[in-house]
Homo-oligomer: A and B are copies of this chain.
């Protein structure tokens, strides 16, 4: 068993913050897709809780936290209400939302990896599941909205790489018995910073060999 990384109340507050910002991104996409108020709430819930739900099913932590902690369930509804009434204002501060989303990404890749390891997964599997926790909600969001997951598209700034780096740092710390609040926090900040830099400088991942020149003729 790992020692507690943060005090439970701090951990919980961070989780709620991450859920909130992910829910905002789901609700904004729902508004753009012209969904009704209920669709906005569903997409907010699915985006915020989808990654953690998948993780909990995989490690056998049922019922998942999303269905046992009332705060986890109600937070996305607050986000959905906010977007419903104020979405032009929310879109105007899209930049800030992206910063919060990056914070959620950094936080979830670390807590997801840690939880997976606590449930007995190996180091590589824990990192993979931490990554899935961080990016899974966004994939569920895009599938429900019938779009190609932005995670997979080449024309989006790096998203999975920062989370992979954060998750890898956590398992390296576990491996060398150095996981504590400080190193965890450092992993969160590293993933967060890398994501901010990726957005700022439009870092992108390469596509397959021989594909770049042919891209213009592609139907995507």
A interface residues (Cβ-Cβ under 8 A, vs B): 30-31, 33-40, 42-43, 53, 57-60, 62-64, 67-68, 70, 73-74, 83-88, 119-122, 124-125, 128-129, 139, 143-149, 151-154, 160-161, 204-211, 215, 218, 220
Contact = CB atoms under 8 A, between A and B. Distances in A.
A73 B208 contact: no
25 contacts: A31-B211, A33-B148, A36-B154, A36-B204, A36-B205, A38-B161, A39-B151, A39-B152, A39-B153, A42-B160, A53-B58, A60-B62, A63-B121, A63-B125, A67-B121, A67-B125, A67-B128, A68-B125, A70-B122, A70-B124, A73-B128, A84-B209, A85-B209, A87-B209, A88-B210
Given A53-B58, A86-B209, 6 more contacts: A35-B152, A39-B205, A43-B152, A58-B63, A83-B208, A145-B152
Number of copies: 3
Contacts of A210: 87-88
A133 to B, nearest CB: 13
A64 B209 CA distance: 33
Contacts of A121: 63, 67-68
Contacts of A67: 58, 121, 125, 128-129
A151 B42 CA distance: 9
A156 to B, nearest CB: 8
A40 B208 contact: yes
A210 to B, nearest CB: 6
A58 B62 contact: yes
Contact of A148 (B53, B84, B146, B207): B146
A90 to B, nearest CB: 10
A152 to B, nearest CB: 3
A40 B160 CA distance: 12
A88 to B, nearest CB: 6
Contacts of A122: 68, 70
Q: Among A34, A67, A128, A145, which residue has the most Cβ atoms of chain B within 10 A?
A: A34
